[in-house]
Amino acid sequence: MDLLLKVATNWILPVFFFLAIFGFCASVIVEILDSFARWKARILSGTIEQILGRSMADDFWRNILANPLGERRTPSYLPAHIFPDVIMHWLVMKDGSPLRYPAQSKGFAHELRNTIEPLQRASAPLFTILSFLIEQAEIENIAPADYYSFLQKGLQQWYYSVLDRMASQYKRLAQRALVAVGIVIAVAANFDVIKMVSQLWKTSLLKELVELAEKTSQPLPNLDETLFTTLPLGWSASDMVMFSSVPAFLVKIVGLAIGGFLIFISAQYIYEYVKRRQYAQAAAATK
């Protein structure tokens, strides 16, 4: 029991501790890489350009509603209500003046159809969703006074689905980065899972040897204390045996790859938890 206690306290628990530390380090490194590479901003900018086209995307980011401070760099996050606000601002302001329509007729819908007609070539996705919303408004017999809010809510719901697609793209990119960083950390720290399991198996054999010696009252042989007192992390001269043969080298590579994958799992949990908190705070701030 004392031996198992030594194994647990001296390196099994520290291994899990270092796994959490490595996962946290990997998530921090990816966040730093994101701040330099601006992945979220690039995905957001590319998605807006894909929806609106290059020319309209430039106009979108110059709009005071989307860019109130006139910044040159695109943001990493755009609140869901901003997109429909900008589109509706474009639609109701024709040639610098607001659309005029009779309050008791569907003149607004007619003017909107004429306004969105040029979008068929410039921005097919936006033209399609606006045409669908106008048709839906007429089918549901939306009052002219409620047209604006109806279209705005429809555009916002559509943009929510676009945000989901952007989130999945960013998640895939972040996962690839976390895998790469996890493998690098595993190699740098020699986080070899196969070596750790092998050492744990050896210590279990030592436990059986201790129990047998206690039952037979035989003296214990000299034990290798390093098997259960030394944390199997970091590179040492003994690790150079990996270059002695091809099988040893492959086993070492597989052990480090498994260690990198475990670091990735830990880092992904930490990273997604932090992102959920950030998005929840950002969403709450925009309400």
Looking at residue 107, what is its pLDDT? 65
Query: Residue 104: what pLDDT?
Result: 45
Of 260, 278, 274, nearest to 178 (Cα)? 260
Question: For residue 192, which of 132, 246, 125, 250 has the smallest C-alpha distance?
Answer: 250
Residue type, 210: V
Residue 251, token pair as written in the block = 């086993």
| Cα 236 versus chain centre, distance | 35
The average confidence (pLDDT) of the chain is 78
Mean pLDDT of all residues in 22-50: 89
> Which pLDDT does position 284 carry in this prediction?
62
The tokens for 190 are 């020699």
Amino acid at 231: L
Q: Is 147 helix (H, G, I), strand (E, B) or coil?
A: helix
The pLDDT of 10-29, averaged and rounded, is 79
Dihedral of the CA atoms 230, 231, 232, 236 (nearest 10)?
Answer: -60
Sorted by where each begins, the domain ranges of the chain are 1-37+190-287, 39-170
Handedness of CA 82, 84, 90, 93 (dihedral sign): negative
**pLDDT tens column, 168-212:** 888 888 889 989 999 999 988 888 888 877 776 666 666 666 666
Q: Is the dihedral of CA 118, 123, 126, 131 positive or negative?
A: positive
Please spell the DSSP secondary structure of 177-238, one letter per residue: HHHHHHHHHHHHHT--HHHHHHHHHHHHHHHHHHHHHHHHTPPPPPP-THHHHS-S-S--GG
Distance (Å, rounded) from C-alpha 174 to C-alpha 30? 7
User: In angstroms, how far is CA 207 from the centroid of its own chain?
Assistant: 44
Express each pLDDT in 73-112 by its tens digit: 888 888 888 898 888 888 776 554 455 554 444 566 677 7
pTM above 0.85, yes or no: no
Sign of CA dihedral 106, 110, 113, 115: negative
Asked if 87 and 95 touch (Cβ cutoff 8 Å), the reply is no
Confidence of residue 17 (pLDDT cuts 50, 70, 90): confident
**Residues 6+ positions from 104 with CB-CB distance below 8 Å:** 144
